[in-house]
Amino acid sequence: MKVSRRQFLKLCGLSGVALSVSPTLLPKFAEALERALGGNPPVIWIQGAGCTGCSVSLLNAVSPDIQDILLKIISLKFHPTVMAAQGETAIDYANEMASKYKGKFFLVVEGAIPTGSHGAFCVVGEKGGKEVTIVDWTKDLAKKAAGVLAFGTCAAYGGLPAAKPNPTNAKGVGDILKEAEIRTPCINVPGCPPHPDWMAGTIAHVLLYGIPELDEVGRPVLFYGSLVHDNCPYRSYFEEEEFCEHFGETGCRYELGCKGPMSHCDSWKRKWNNGVNWCVENALCIGCTEPNFWDEFAPLYEPS
Amino acid sequence: MARISIDPVTRIEGHLKIEVDVKGGKVKNSWSHGLLFRGFELILKGRDPRDAVQITQRICGVCPTAHGTASSRALDAAFGVKPPTNGRIIRNLILGANYIQSHILHFYHLAALDYVKGPGVSPFIPRYEGPDIYRLPPAVNQKAVEGYLKALEMRRKAQEMLAIFGGRMPHVQGFIPGGATEPVTPDKIVNYYWRLQELKEFVEKIYLPTVYVVGKVYSELFEVGRGHRNVLSYGVFPLDDEEKDFLLKPGVYTKGKDYPLYVAKITESVKRSWYEDVGDRNPAKGVTKVKPNKGNGYSFIKAPRYNGLPHEVGPLARMWITNPVLSKEANKFLGVPMDKEVRMRDLGEKAFSIMGRHVARAEECYLVAKALEKWLSELKPGDPVNVPAEVPKTGEGYGLSEAPRGSVGHWIKIKDGVIDHYQIIAPTTWNASPRDSKGQRGPIEEALIGVPVPDPRAPINILRLVRAFDP
């Protein structure tokens, strides 16, 4: 595992003392894993009813960057957007790796899981002439994985496909596992998309220190433990009741529809795209780390 | 006759299965199956129209800016507002930055592994193996692998440049009906400018020449994948506030002739798609009644047609219709003296091919990079970036734009202040469409006909063809 402790701490925005770890910490987890595997921990990344935005966001990681992640931190066995293989060969390879590294690989899921019509709304491959649906494959792979990472609000909570009227009966991965009584631990890393640091940081935490402390909706407190509103640079304008009436003005964005007061997210600290800008500075917060935000926070451009 | 089925097609966005029948070493028949349905058009109904700009971006995490642009334009029309100059330019700067990101990503990270041998580790293996598949000379291959890694950094930087005005990427906050949200200040212009220089240099000195080098080694692929040879473009990057002219122009090219674009001639067929048979409809009257088990359906993708005929969209379509002057690499490729101009249509038949599509994309990337610099200089710090846009009780309109991979259109009707009707035609809907009510193949299906498949166990040319469309 070649992420330095300093890189990891910077990723988490911590100075070294505040690292939170869960009671399920397995201290030598990562070292034992690496010894057992003789290499970087294997990751199988599958996509359901999503848009690939989470993957694109991770490609924007800066430190570690995607090159570091792919070549030095994980061994990415399957990822539909970047892998060389295709067709049944790709599906077979993923299944082979899941068996070979049973109990030792991490399953990343991006996108929601449509359960309507026996899973026919999302087919991810073919095996022996038969369709492989995302709902079935998620369960098969999750049973064998050491842990499941639900990247993005869709995978975590159903996201946009699950927004009213949820035409495909889409669900988050956690719900799918619970219904099937699959006990593999599942960490939610929501965001639409999640910040690359949350995804890379969660992977790194799991490998170095085990499962991080999670909040009541399964998110690492490390990244989702603060509200945008409590740390917003425009908070003083809110207190003074200096509200923007139009985009582009200086002031609190609450009257424009900003959902900062209800959103657990630390983008106020780490900004987006290598610190160039972030949602509230540019416009407002739509609350994309929260379950069901598309419905709960609608209309996005009116105060709640 | 051998039936080959590839599911999943990887290194695309979304869920696609391709089936072909091969006889005598060539594709004789083909089927393109879109295997994901989410129901955006149903989810949008009943919501505040302004939410559409955020919701529709989630159709695609690689090109959310295209849907954000089309949606903003549809709302502009329905609300009866027009962005001010700064707002129009900012929208161009956001979308243009994403063209650069998307085209670089496409060539290096989605397409290149069909021609370039990567490192011997996951995810670069397993891969098709065979004596004739990877034909780049070792030194060229090595340079291409270095290019792949450099391109990872370049596309990341293109998104950083975009976020200056877009807020973040993917999924931009910076589009609204009536214009943009980010005020223009000189530091942002300078910030964007210097990042653009680095990207322009990469496109000009590395990406563009690499495409031609690969094209030279795989020159037979300029003769494969003609398709219907019908193309269309909605036009993109308005150059003036009245939208009298666009950098990449609207137009239609059907059976060798040029025509102006008439939006009323666009229809979608659901005959072979998993939707209730409602007849061929213009999206202003379109419905989405999904029926996953409809007997003769084979895709969740509807079949858009123009004037009843399949048309291809994307960089090839835009560059063919606009016919701009190409880079000096094109001169070298065609053996034309450097002081003479080479235009897209000088490529002739070669444009309508696997390699032609890669060349069109790279040349377009360069064209857009140069234009972005010019538009930056037209921004006026301090001038408004948007106009007030109240949600009307009723309204209707459509917004047309061009995603990096092709034409994108959003059709909206507002009733009682909420969305009553919303239909979307994405670029891949055009290109990866199944057969229509007349049984005509979609553009990718047609382009697959005649593709050589010497080894059915490693049918690399099928994948090269499909990926050239950037689905």
pLDDT at position A28 is 45
pLDDT digit string, tens, across residues A185-241? 999 999 999 999 999 999 989 988 889 999 999 999 999 999 999 999 999 999 999
pLDDT at position B131 is 79
Q: Is the pLDDT of residue B341 over 50?
A: yes
Token pair listed for B307: 């004037």
What average pLDDT does the segment B114-121 reach? 94
The predicted model scores a pTM of 0.95
Choose the closest CB to A83 out of B10, B38, B162: B10
Q: Is the pLDDT of residue A292 over 60?
A: yes
Whether A247 has its CB under 8 Å from any CB of chain B: the answer is: yes
Whether A66 has its CB under 8 Å from any CB of chain B: the answer is: yes
For the beta carbon of residue A295, count every other beta carbon within 10 angstroms.
13
Asked if A299 lies within 8 A of B48 by C-beta distance, the reply is yes
Whether A273 has its CB under 8 Å from any CB of chain B: the answer is: yes
**Whole-angstrom distance, CA of residue A41 vs CA of residue A33:** 7
Lowest mean pLDDT among A5-19, A242-256, B337-351, B390-404: A5-19
Long-range contacts formed by B334-339: CB under 8 A, 24+ apart: none
pLDDT at position A21 is 38
Residues of chain A contacting B422 with CB distance shorter than 8 Å? none
Asked if A123 lies within 8 A of B174 by C-beta distance, the reply is no
CA neighbours closer than 13 Å in the CB half-sphere of residue B161: 31
**Whole-angstrom distance, CA of residue A300 vs CA of residue B4:** 46
Asked if B173 lies within 8 A of A67 by C-beta distance, the reply is no
Mean pLDDT score of chain B: 97
- By CA distance, what is B166's nearest residue in A? A282
Asked if B166 lies within 8 A of A161 by C-beta distance, the reply is no
pLDDT at position B246 is 98
Choose the closest CB to A193 out of B55, B105, B171: B171
Whether B162 has its CB under 8 Å from any CB of chain A: the answer is: yes
Lowest mean pLDDT among A33-42, B72-81, B128-137, B355-364: A33-42
Name, in order, each residue with C-beta under 8 angstroms of B430's C-beta and a sequence gap of 6 or more. B304, B311, B312, B313, B406, B407, B442, B443
What average pLDDT does the segment B116-122 reach? 92
**Which residues 25-84 of B are in CB contact (within 8 Å) with A?**
35-40, 42-43, 46-48, 50-51, 54-55, 58-62, 64
**Whole-angstrom distance, CA of residue A203 vs CA of residue B242:** 50
Name, in order, each residue with C-beta under 8 angstroms of B45's C-beta and a sequence gap of 6 or more. B419, B420, B421, B422
Q: Is the pLDDT of residue A74 over 50?
A: yes
Residues of chain A contacting B170 with CB distance shorter than 8 Å? 53, 56-57, 193
pLDDT band at A5 (very low <50, low <70, confident <90, very high): low
Report the candidate in B183, B186, B50 with the shortest Cα–Cα distance to residue A248.
B183
pLDDT digit string, tens, across residues B11-45? 999 999 999 999 999 999 999 999 999 999 999 99
Asked if A167 lies within 8 A of B14 by C-beta distance, the reply is no
Phi, psi of B218, deg, nearest 5 = -105, 45
- By CA distance, what is B417's nearest residue in A? A299
**Higher pLDDT residue, A33 or A252?**
A252
Residues of chain A contacting B13 with CB distance shorter than 8 Å? 51-52, 81
Residues of chain B contacting A59 with CB distance shorter than 8 Å? 105, 152, 155-156
pLDDT band at A8 (very low <50, low <70, confident <90, very high): low
Residues of chain A contacting B461 with CB distance shorter than 8 Å? none
* CA max distance for chain B: 67
Asked if A71 lies within 8 A of B173 by C-beta distance, the reply is no
Choose the closest CB to A283 out of B5, B17, B174: B174
What average pLDDT does the segment B331-355 reach? 98
Place of tokens 């991080």: A212
- By CA distance, what is B46's nearest residue in A? A164
**Higher pLDDT residue, A194 or A20?**
A194
CA distances from A120 to A90, A167, A296, B167, B301 (A): 20, 12, 28, 36, 14
- By CA distance, what is B5's nearest residue in A? A87
Q: Is the pLDDT of residue A34 over 60?
A: no
pLDDT digit string, tens, across residues B278-301? 999 999 999 999 999 899 999 999
Residues of chain B contacting A70 with CB distance shorter than 8 Å? 123
Residues of chain B contacting A87 with CB distance shorter than 8 Å? 5-9
**Whole-angstrom distance, CA of residue A138 vs CA of residue A239:** 47
pLDDT at position B130 is 84
DSSP B58: G
pLDDT digit string, tens, across residues B156-171? 999 999 999 999 999 9
Burial class (CB in 10 A: 0-12, 13-18, 19+), B153: middle
pLDDT at position A26 is 36
pLDDT band at B382 (very low <50, low <70, confident <90, very high): very high
Asked if B293 lies within 8 A of A117 by C-beta distance, the reply is yes
What average pLDDT does the segment B318-347 reach? 98
Choose the closest CB to B43 out of A51, A160, A246: A160
pLDDT at position A190 is 98
Asked if A121 lies within 8 A of B126 by C-beta distance, the reply is no
Whether B174 has its CB under 8 Å from any CB of chain A: the answer is: yes
For the beta carbon of residue B279, count every other beta carbon within 10 angstroms.
11
pLDDT digit string, tens, across residues B235-255? 999 999 999 999 999 999 999
Choose the closest CB to A277 out of B62, B123, B168: B168
> What percentage of chain A exceeds 70 in pLDDT?
88
Asked if B156 lies within 8 A of A66 by C-beta distance, the reply is yes
Long-range contacts formed by B409-412: CB under 8 A, 24+ apart: B409/B70, B409/B234, B409/B263, B409/B266, B409/B283, B410/B52, B410/B56, B410/B67, B410/B70, B410/B71, B410/B73, B410/B74, B411/B74, B411/B283, B411/B284, B411/B286, B412/B49, B412/B52, B412/B74, B412/B75, B412/B78
pLDDT at position A73 is 86
pLDDT digit string, tens, across residues A150-185? 999 999 999 999 999 999 999 999 999 999 999 999
